[in-house]
Structure 1
Amino acid sequence: MPQKLTVAVAQARTGPSLSATLSALERITQHAASQGVSILLFPEAYLGGYPRTCDFGTAVGARAPHGREQFLRYFQDAADLGDTPAGAGDDWIERKLPLAKGSDRRGDGTREFLERVARETGVFIATGVIEKAGGTLYCSALYVDPNAGVLGKRRKVMPTASERLIWGQGSPSTLKAVTTVIKGVRLTIGAAICWENFMPLLRQSLYSQKVNIYLAPTADSRDTWLPLLRTIAGEGRTFVLSANQCVRYRELPSWITEQAEKQGTALEGNPYISRGGSSIVGPLGEVLAGPVWETCVDDALDKSSLEGLSKDEGLLIQEIDLEDCERGNLDLDVAGSYSRSEFKLTVDGLDLNPPPF
């Protein structure tokens, strides 16, 4: 049978609170479902937020009290998914972790909210989330299937530059791909978050698992991002979906902008601090949709109806043929016929074989 699906990426921005962002996610997903979308990707740190321009009052060897207050606000805005600091893996996914007395769930309900939205819309949701566990924040990507609920979650293994101040490192074992069948189409889905995509061995760990949907939620809005996506798609003979936020300075959390005003470091006017650049790329490296710049799907939420919402308003929708991945393997399979047995990659705690269905 045909192996075609309609996929989408949402160039959406984080709202003023976690609940507001979840509400926006629900409306965007409902609209995507009305357009026949089966898989929908949201940006890196969409839930919880990417704190652009904020230094959290730090310098080498010094911490300012106001920075600790900013971290407190950021921590409070993060999602509690009910996982452990070490990451409980399958036990967390399968809800085998102990519950507090009198409680019917772990965490703050974000997981259950996303599972309900996926179930009611029939859309597979992948979203970036700032996750808190113990006293640490993690930049994570969550996979939510409309039938099975959460299939997996991975934490960014290498936060970039100053991100390391506020986010912990995730375990490489979370690079495990997930499998599902949607409308008769067999999918193996994996994710690399933002600059993890510049790590060749990490990319190879996903290629080895034979992902045919490669997710690249990001915070990189440079023109140089798209060439990387095209390289990944061509290397891995996989469809690459990348979603970024589109944000103006005054749309940042007040705990960032108000402190900047006190310090006299606020940006003048209301410039874009992230222009977007969300895209969809095919397995021969061809750009199928995007990149789209300086527009945000959230701006359409104020309309009386979302009917007619177009790619120019931050939602990229594309039908893809998953058999194109196998067609591309005629001349390139970097984990198979185009590899050499002398070169071997191992990752602690991760099986690099394609996962079984």
Structure 2
Amino acid sequence: MSPTTIRLGTASPSTQASTAETVAQLEQIARRAASKKIDILLLPEAYIGGYPRGTHFGCVIGSRTAEGREEYLRYFQSAVDLGDTVGDGAGAGEAWIKRTLPGDSVPGATENGKAPAVNKRGDGTREQLERIARETGVFIVTGLIEKTGGSMYCSVVYVCPKQGIIGKRRKVMPTGTERLVWAQGSPSTLRAVSTTIRGVRINLAATICWENYMPLVRQSLYSQNINLYLAPTADGRDTWLSLMKTVAIEGRCFVVSSNMAVPPASSTTSTSIATPQQTNGQPNPIDSSAILAEEPDHDDDNTSPTFSGSSPFAPKHHSNRRASCLTEEGFEIALPRPKSPSAAGTNTFTSTASSTPSQAHTSNSTVNTFPPPSKRRTSVFDEDGNEIILCCKKPSHATTSSQTMAPSSVTSHRPPVAGSRREATSGNGEWISKGGSSIISPFGQVLSGPQWEDNQGIIYTDVDFEDCIRGRLDLDTAGSYSRNDSFEFRVKGLDLNPLPY
């Protein structure tokens, strides 16, 4: 490897049963990355903290349930505390990064019989990440669920091996029903950060999952003259790679994307959100959810989730599925069940026990048969992730249909998504999330990946960042090609002055 070559890497691990286990897994990945001489490592969205896929926290318009509030409490407890503030959605900014915020010691509280250390904020997750980067020498970028005050944010941290955390951003626009539990981050957190590796200056910034579909968010990064675009995500569809290639060409930058790969439900065991653990008298970071990633379309789950295994995150009482009726075409319409308020607070959790990785990537129909308590009709999913209920021979409701649909008549090109209750309980042997992590050149060439059905490996490639300059010969989206004399672009609270190379 020449002195000017930078090695970029990524992986597709999935959230473990607790934050302590996830951080331990992150450390193992970072140490393996160091052994491969990887300089910058990207890990998936919500990797630390988990994603509440399949639940609605007992909320419908005009009503909330007590069970849902308890579920929210447990999810909040599973998020990590980095010691930051709420602010205007940006946190404390430089004051938090430079550790100049006042300490959070509590009168009367002690640690190992001693007074709490002044200026120690958070639950220790920040310090663990900084230690891992420092000991491995790897620049780590990872997604996590961050809590502060009474709010949670889907965040990304930039962890430098020499300076510790040099930046953090919060998801500007949570997608769909994510908005129920995740607050909106400030656009000012879109600020790029810089690092220098072997004399090469790298300007990097991250967009999270479907933020990448927001052209103005992308433009805010291009305008800062980035040469490394990071896209932690939970979108494992084939179409995601096309978007990443577009971003690379559009921004004339290297693109690294990371998505969790979650094995089939048959190869996993039930996990749960554990209670906070203690190490040497000090609390470890709060244990995380085993819900592993988000589905690109978040509002298509119209069925009541059910829990598997014994989880303290689950309600104490299970409920039956909501009532439903069939249309003349054989489609099912789910109806709320007023006398079953506990139905709103149920869910399914799956974990990610290791299984044999496979590089085969296929797009097959997703056919599911739901388990008892009631005999659930077979269903399939269309290309957009919408569920289509197939007719059964003896409908349980008065509305019937003579039409039938064979499972093979509907083809889905959407891989099953991590954390989805439907795929997780299907037991059809398909991966819950196929992953798809990848590295793309400024000319749209796939340099490494996509990493399908592999939650163990690390993919990496050596790159020459001068390729970003070479690409600017004929396209500079935020400079000579942008017609700044005709179009004016600004972002509230964000300095768009381009960073130097």
Instruction: Give the TM-score taking structure 1 as reference length.
Output: 0.91
Deviation at 1:264, TM superposition (A): 5.4
Which of 91, 94, 109 is the matching residue for 1:90? 94
**Structure-2 residue corresponding to 1:333:** 476
Q: Within 2, Cα distance between the matches of 1:145 and 1:130?
A: 20
**Structure-2 residue corresponding to 1:262:** 318
Per-residue CA distance 1:245-288 (angstroms, 9 max, x = gap): 11245567536734599345662327533221111111011111
Deviation at 1:52, TM superposition (A): 2.0
1:122 aligns with 2:123: no
Query: Against the structure 1 CA distance between its residues 226 and 252, is the aligned structure 2 distance closer, same or farther, given a 3 Å change threshold?
Result: farther
**Structure-2 residue corresponding to 1:301:** none
Q: Any idea what SS the aligned residue of 2:176 has?
A: coil
Query: Against the structure 1 CA distance between its residues 324 and 209, is the aligned structure 2 distance closer, same or farther, given a 3 Å change threshold?
Result: same
Q: Within 1, Cα distance between the matches of 2:44 and 2:439?
A: 13
Per-residue CA distance 1:103-139 (angstroms, 9 max, x = gap): 2411011111011100110000000010000011000
Q: Any idea what SS the aligned residue of 1:162 has?
A: helix
Sequence identity percentage: 56
Instruction: Kindly indicate whether the alpha-carbon contact (under 8 Å) linking 1:189 and 1:211 is maintained by their aligned counterparts in 2.
Output: yes
1:282 aligns with 2:441: yes
**Structure-2 residue corresponding to 1:65:** 66
**Structure-1 residue corresponding to 2:462:** 319
Q: Any idea what SS the aligned residue of 1:43 has?
A: coil
**Structure-2 residue corresponding to 1:76:** 77
Matches within 5 A, 1:107-186: 107-186=122-201
**Structure-2 residue corresponding to 1:34:** 35
Deviation at 1:191, TM superposition (A): 0.6
Q: Within 2, Cα distance between the matches of 1:185 and 1:287?
A: 22
Query: Against the structure 1 CA distance between its residues 251 and 188, is the aligned structure 2 distance closer, same or farther, given a 3 Å change threshold?
Result: farther
Which of 103, 109, 112 is the matching residue for 2:117? 103
**Could you tell which deviates more after superposition, 55-64 or 221-230?**
55-64
1:208 aligns with 2:367: no
Q: Within 2, Cα distance between the matches of 1:154 and 1:76?
A: 21
Instruction: Kindly indicate whether the alpha-carbon contact (under 8 Å) linking 1:8 and 1:41 is maintained by their aligned counterparts in 2.
Output: yes
1:234 aligns with 2:377: no
Q: Within 2, Cα distance between the matches of 1:226 and 1:252?
A: 31
Q: Within 2, Cα distance between the matches of 1:252 and 1:354?
A: 48
**Structure-2 residue corresponding to 1:10:** 11
Q: Which runs of 5+ in 1 are unaligned?
A: 298-312
Q: Any idea what SS the aligned residue of 1:66 has?
A: helix
Q: Any idea what SS the aligned residue of 1:243 has?
A: strand
Q: Amino acid of the residue matched to residue 281 of structure 1? A: I
Deviation at 1:54, TM superposition (A): 2.2
Q: Within 2, Cα distance between the matches of 1:106 and 1:251?
A: 34
**Structure-1 residue corresponding to 2:326:** none
Q: Within 2, Cα distance between the matches of 1:40 and 1:103?
A: 32
Instruction: Give the TM-score taking structure 2 as reference length.
Output: 0.65
Instruction: Kindly indicate whether the alpha-carbon contact (under 8 Å) linking 2:80 and 2:147 is maintained by their aligned counterparts in 1.
Output: yes
Deviation at 1:68, TM superposition (A): 1.8
Query: Against the structure 1 CA distance between its residues 274 and 64, is the aligned structure 2 distance closer, same or farther, given a 3 Å change threshold?
Result: farther
**Structure-1 residue corresponding to 2:48:** 47
**Could you tell which deviates more after superposition, 287-296 or 35-44?**
287-296
Q: Within 1, Cα distance between the matches of 2:430 and 2:176?
A: 23
1:294 aligns with 2:453: yes
**Structure-2 residue corresponding to 1:303:** none
1:272 aligns with 2:431: yes
Residue-pair matches, total: 341
Instruction: Kindly indicate whether the alpha-carbon contact (under 8 Å) linking 2:226 and 2:499 is maintained by their aligned counterparts in 1.
Output: no
Deviation at 1:76, TM superposition (A): 1.1
Q: Any idea what SS the aligned residue of 1:285 has?
A: coil
**Structure-1 residue corresponding to 2:237:** 222
Instruction: Kindly indicate whether the alpha-carbon contact (under 8 Å) linking 2:8 and 2:462 is maintained by their aligned counterparts in 1.
Output: yes
Q: Amino acid of the residue matched to residue 468 of structure 2? A: C
Deviation at 1:318, TM superposition (A): 1.0
Instruction: Kindly indicate whether the alpha-carbon contact (under 8 Å) linking 1:51 and 1:252 is maintained by their aligned counterparts in 2.
Output: no
Q: Within 2, Cα distance between the matches of 1:181 and 1:334?
A: 24
Would you tell me which structure has more helix in proportion to its own residues?
Answer: 1
Instruction: Kindly indicate whether the alpha-carbon contact (under 8 Å) linking 1:233 and 1:239 is maintained by their aligned counterparts in 2.
Output: yes
Deviation at 1:66, TM superposition (A): 2.2
Q: Within 1, Cα distance between the matches of 2:4 and 2:270?
A: 41
Deviation at 1:235, TM superposition (A): 0.3
Q: Any idea what SS the aligned residue of 1:22 has?
A: helix
Q: Within 2, Cα distance between the matches of 1:221 and 1:158?
A: 19
Q: Which runs of 5+ in 2 are unaligned?
A: 106-115, 274-290, 292-306, 309-313, 322-420
1:345 aligns with 2:489: yes
**Structure-1 residue corresponding to 2:22:** 21
Q: Amino acid of the residue matched to residue 103 of structure 2? A: L
Q: Any idea what SS the aligned residue of 1:189 has?
A: strand
Query: Against the structure 1 CA distance between its residues 252 and 76, is the aligned structure 2 distance closer, same or farther, given a 3 Å change threshold?
Result: farther
Q: Amino acid of the residue matched to residue 329 of structure 1? A: R
Query: Against the structure 1 CA distance between its residues 176 and 52, is the aligned structure 2 distance closer, same or farther, given a 3 Å change threshold?
Result: same
Alpha-carbon RMSD across the aligned residues, in angstroms, is: 1.9
Q: Within 2, Cα distance between the matches of 1:251 and 1:7?
A: 32
Instruction: Kindly indicate whether the alpha-carbon contact (under 8 Å) linking 1:3 and 1:323 is maintained by their aligned counterparts in 2.
Output: no
Query: Against the structure 1 CA distance between its residues 326 and 228, is the aligned structure 2 distance closer, same or farther, given a 3 Å change threshold?
Result: same
Per-residue CA distance 1:7-28 (angstroms, 9 max, x = gap): 1111010010111100000011
